[in-house]
Structure 1
Amino acid sequence: MRAEATPPFALDEDHDMPDILLHHYDNSPFSEKVRVCLGIKGLAWGAVEQPVIMPKPQLVPLTGGYRRIPVMQIGADIYCDSMLIVRELERRFPDPTLFPDGNRGLAQALALWTDRSLFQAAVAVIFGNLAEHVDPAFIKDREALSGQPFDTDRMRLAIPHMEAQLRAHVALIAEQLADGRAFLGGDRPGLADANAYYNLWFIRNAFPPASGIFTDDALVSDWVGRVAAIGHGTRSPVSADAALAVARDAVPGSSTVARRDAALAGKTVTVAADDYGRDPIAGTLVGSSDHHVAIRRECDDLGEVVVHFPRIGFVIQG
Structure 2
Amino acid sequence: MTRPLNKHSALRFSLCAFGLLCVATLGFFAWQSYYPVSAAAGWKVRVVHADVPKAASLMPEADGSLVVSQELDKGKGSIVRIHPDGSREVVVAHLSKPDGMVPTRGGWVFSQESADLPVSFYKDGVVTELFKGDSVQGLWVEGDDLYAIEDRKPAGRLLRYRWSDQSLSVVRDQVQEGEAIVRCTDGRLLYNEKNKGVVRELTADGSDPVVLSNLNQPTFLMCDERGLWINEDATHRARLLLIDKQGRQQTILSFLKAPQSIVPSGRGTYLVAEGGRSRVLELTPE
Asked whether the two chains share a fold, i.e. TM above 0.5, the reply is no
Q: Which has more radius of gyration?
A: 2
TM-score by length of 1: 0.24
Larger RCO: Structure 1 or Structure 2 (Cα < 8 Å, ≥ 6 residues apart)? Answer: 1
Q: Which has the higher helix share?
A: 1
